[in-house]
Homo-oligomer: A and B are copies of this chain.
Amino acid sequence: MTDSTTSAPGPLVGWIGTGRMGVAMAQRVARAGVDLTAWNRTLSKAEPLKRDGAAVCETIAGLRGKDVVLTMVSTPADLEQVLLGEGGLLTDPGNLPGIVVDCSTVSTESSAAMRVACEERGVGFLAAPVSGNGKVVRAGALSIVVSGPKETYDKVAHLLRHIGRSVTYVGEGDLARLVKIAHNLMLGVVTQTLAEITVLAEKGGVPRHAFLEFLNNSVMGSAFTRYKSPAFVNLDYTPTFTPILLRKDFDLGLAAARRLDVPMPVTALTAQLVQASVGSGRTEEDFSILLDLQAAASGMTLKPENVVVDDGLGAAAGKDAL
């Protein structure tokens, strides 16, 4: 990568992975006027980016010469495939990108392996997982945590800022993966505590929508408590994240804690409650079914309140919303 990255006319950027999250993120980069070319296994999912000024290429080979390539895929196996598999980004020694920035949620081990593969080829590598979902991206509220060589980070920070509200550099290597896992542990604990206090308030006589409205406006309110509120109020458990996926993050987090000799009592207990939610058999629903389990343990069966609830992401969500 040359100086062109940090000055006009700007870097040539590639994008791999235009699923629900990826397309929303890439869109923001394209709309910022960056020279962007995208690839996706199912090509049709990348097409909408053309409306935002991006190009779409039919093979990953089309991205090999870019200054920076961002990846946003589903699994560690996918990441390895697009980088090192047949026709992968790093498979032509004579045509390599300058920097790879991976925004996927993969384990520290997988991240480290990809880092080695990049560095062996003289390609910079940054781990850059994100906090938020597709709706959060579109609301401009995504946050990104980045680790890797500081000078590599400095070269792409301006690009990442197009994607979301905040970009935080936390250090060398794959530390950003640990930070993302820690974030997801908090997400689990906060959901369980929301379940406990929401059921307490409801059994005491306070409707869930009223309780959560106060909480969301209080100092305890977060983007997360707000966008989970419609599910809690109207019991719409369409999955954004399943109990199985959350359990996986608790597995990773508690394994890291074990390795680092850090006891995590509240986290470990929550992990067991998440496990119990898996045991309920409702593994295809959103992990907010923790609310239902809490209610059952309290001798209650909840009913949807059918109230329009602001999810804090720019649109009211509710059973009776249009």
Binding site for B on A (CB under 8 A): 131-132, 136, 141, 143, 145, 165-166, 168-173, 175, 178-179, 182-183, 185-187, 189-190, 192-194, 196-201, 203-207, 210-211, 213-215, 217-225, 227, 251, 253, 256-258, 260-273, 275-276, 278-281, 294, 296-299
Contacts and interface: CB of A to CB of B under 8 A. Distances in A.
A136 B182 CA distance: 27
Given A200-B260, A299-B280, A268 B268 contact: yes
Contacts of A172: 205
Nearest to A221: B222
Nearest to A141: B219
Contacts of A265: 196, 265, 269, 272-273
B258 A251 contact: yes
The DSSP consensus for interface residues of chain A is helix
A186 B186 CA distance: 12
Contacts of A279: 261-263, 296-299
A165 B217 contact: yes
Per CB-CB distance, the 5 closest pairs between chain A and chain B, nearest first, are A166-B217, A131-B218, A263-B275, A168-B214, A182-B197
A117 to B, nearest CB: 22
Q: Which of A165, A183, A200, A251 has the most CB of B within 10 A?
A: A200
B189 A266 contact: yes
A67 B213 CA distance: 28
29 contacts: A131-B219, A132-B218, A166-B214, A168-B213, A170-B201, A170-B207, A170-B210, A183-B197, A183-B215, A183-B220, A185-B200, A186-B190, A187-B220, A189-B266, A190-B190, A192-B266, A200-B257, A221-B222, A222-B222, A251-B258, A261-B279, A263-B273, A263-B276, A265-B265, A265-B269, A266-B269, A266-B270, A279-B298, A280-B297
